[in-house]
Amino acid sequence: MDGNGRWAKKRGLPRIQGHRKGADSVREVVRGAGEIGIKYLTLYAFSVENWNRPKSEVDTLMKYLLRFLKKEINELNKNNVRLQAIGQIYRLPENVQEQLKKTIAATSKNNGLTLTLALSYGGRTEIIEAVRHIGKEIAEGKLDPEEINEQVISRHLYTHGMPDPDLLIRTSGEMRVSNFLLWQISYAEFVITDTLWPEFGKAEFFKALEEYTSRHRRYGGV
């Protein structure tokens, strides 16, 4: 979800106003995904690299995240959305961690769209942690190195139990994956749009899905 800062800069507004406006796009896209029966939607909300931003911006982002988690419970339940989160959740402020647990619990019985927020997330970090867990199982005699395959690795990722994504949408025209779901997007289709995230509403989302439906996915075959 890229482009919040540039959206604000174009309008002479503080960067944080772009993040606030971006929350409206989150709401629209989640509603749109639910309306057409998409089962899984993962939003890259805060990366491990984002901790390097100015403390004032990070603190404000955490306040907005806390407010979003509280405010959206009714909206999520109304639309039958189940919330999940992946990443180094323990690095989030304690009050955010607690509210995240509450919101996840409050939506746990919903069986429509599963919305996953990637928070304090990094694809390389995810793979490193998976390797560490696998190494520990080998050291404890619970796993034979010869048994390691794609399924074993996938089982140790943050996203275990979730299907790999079919489509990766990148807003603001950036041509990079920015350390997002590096293992999982091996065969995902990419749609790159110049639209900045705060301007990416339901119509833009459906446009990206229409482009995806025109692709012929061969998974390395013919």
Query: pLDDT tens-digit profile of 160-210?
Result: 999 999 999 999 999 999 999 999 999 999 999 999 999 999 999 999 999
Output the CATH code of domain 4-213.
3.40.1180.10
Residue 222 reports pLDDT greater than 70: no
Closest CA to 174 of 197, 147, 192: 192
Beta strand 189-192 pairing with 82-86: unpaired
- 218 pLDDT band (50/70/90 cuts)? confident
Mean per-residue pLDDT over the chain, rounded? 95
**Is 149 assigned a catalytic role?**
no
Helix (H, G, I), strand (E, B) or coil at 218: coil
Q: How far apart are CA 89 and CA 80, in angstroms?
A: 24
Q: Which residue in 50, 77, 164, 166 is the catalytic one?
A: 50
Beta carbons within 8 Å of 105's beta carbon, 6+ residues apart: none
Q: Is the predicted pLDDT of residue 3 greater than 90, yes or no?
A: yes
Q: Model-level pTM?
A: 0.94
The catalytic position among 2, 77, 166, 179 is 2
Residue 216, pLDDT above cutoff 70: yes
Share of the chain above pLDDT 90, in %: 94
Average pLDDT of span 112-141: 98
> What average pLDDT does the segment 205-219 reach?
90
Residue with token string 């995806």: 212
